[in-house]
Amino acid sequence: MLNILIAEGTPAVWQAERAGFGLPSNFSLLAAAVRLHQPDSRCTPVNIADGEPLPFGVTFSDFDGVMFPGSPLHIYDPDSCVARQIDFARAAFTAGVPVWGSCWGLLDLPRFSGEALAHLAACFSN
């Protein structure tokens, strides 16, 4: 069974506003996409914008990969929500777990060392 951590980059307050308009969360959209191809997958959400930690006793190595969806935040804003996301992404890369990013997640990648980018390139070349 595939076990994916989905690192939500949208603050919970903004997610509630989106839900009020009937819009699904980034987590639910990504989890649905993963399960479309791997129906028995387990997707675990963590709201990194709000500083939510990994579940107690869980490490990055417990996951087959980490997904970073889009976020309404801007990667270059000097904001604590952004800083927490960058720190979390850096920790995921350091742990060596495969990382996938879309939109905001892709903008986060240049913040990391060449080693992390080389690791990502190797993942995509297979």
Closest CA to 59 of 44, 49, 71, 70: 44
Question: What pLDDT digit, counting tens, does each position of 87-122 carry?
Answer: 888 898 889 898 887 765 555 555 554 555 555 455
Q: Which secondary-structure segment (H or E) carries 12?
A: helix 12-20
Single pTM value for the model: 0.79
Provide the domain count of the chain.
1
Q: Which secondary-structure segment (H or E) carries 66?
A: strand 65-68
Question: What pLDDT digit, counting tens, does each position of 47-73 carry?
Answer: 998 999 999 999 999 999 999 887 777
Q: Which residue range forms the structural domain that includes residue 104?
A: 3-125
